[in-house]
Amino acid sequence: MEPPLQQPVAVVTGGTGGIGSRICAALAQEGMRVLVGYSRSADAAKAVVAGLPGQGHSAVASPVTDSATLASLAEEIGARYGRCDVLVNCAGTTRFVPHGDLAGLDDALIDSILATNVRGPFAMVRALRPLLEKSTQRGGGVVVNVSSIAAVTAMGSNVMYCASKAALDNMTKSLARALAPRIRVLAVSPGLVDTGFILSMDQAWRDEQAARTPLRRLAAPDEVAAAVVVAIKNLTFTTGAIISVDGGRPLA
């Protein structure tokens, strides 16, 4: 374990969710100081922080659709920690709307999905870029966007969710080019993940989805978190890549 002031600092938006909380735990296990980002669930973020190994963690308000608040957050991180080495964009939103139900995908939902899933990650990168560029960790600063295979398969909770993840994958590549060589930008793209959101669905539907996946099961949140750790710690000569954690689902 590095001395506290030398430990990398990682910001995880959506840090209280089923995937985000496991990413926070994995990064803390790797010796990072983790800032658990939340929008409205301050108590849940504090609970995640309380369960992390190591010291120096905190819960931070990071509403990704509020650029002014994100600018203040960046100033706070700079003043308190003096560094930011990792940004994991895990905040996202969606709602099930059948793809054929165009009227059901109303303008308010479209705007919410695009603002959170596309503009939000960009706004986080824009706010934290100066700190990320100063990272002294091996491989430089790192941004990991949590995407979805819906970006490729065009199958997901609704049409606009799929479009938002396709945009996120494209933006990952554009930012990787624009921010090199000081910052690497990658995406981790899961298939269906066994989180509370999916566990709330009908069991027969979940079984059908698993059967359609070559590895015959859904992803575990810890497997997504492991991919994030690998992207940060091991793939130090990789940028602009989309890393699949989908059990081979697009092959089916």
User: Is 235 exposed, middle or buried, given 0-12, 13-18 or 19+ CB atoms closer than 10 A?
Assistant: middle
Q: Is residue 252 part of a domain?
A: no
| CA-based max dimension of the chain | 56
Distances (CA, A) of 241 to 11, 198, 232, 236: 20, 26, 12, 12
Six token digits for residue 23: 């990413």
Place of tokens 């990072």: 32
Range of the domain at 44: 4-243
Q: Is residue 249 part of a domain?
A: no
Q: Is residue 250 part of a domain?
A: no
**Given 38, 81, 122, 161, which residue is catalytic?**
161
- The rounded distance, in Å, linking the Cα atoms of 224 and 205 is 22
**Separation of CA 197 from chain center:** 16
Distances (CA, A) of 230 to 35, 48, 50, 60, 67: 19, 22, 24, 24, 29
CATH value at residue 196: 3.40.50.720
- Told to judge if 38 belongs to the known catalytic residues of this protein, a careful annotator would answer no
Q: Which residues of the chain fall short of a pLDDT of 50? A: none
Model pLDDT, residue 4: 64
Q: Is residue 110 part of a domain?
A: yes
Model pLDDT, residue 2: 56
Q: Is residue 168 part of a domain?
A: yes
Q: Is residue 248 part of a domain?
A: no
pTM tops 0.85, yes or no: yes
**In the chain, how many domains are there?**
1
Q: Is residue 192 part of a domain?
A: yes
Q: Is residue 251 part of a domain?
A: no
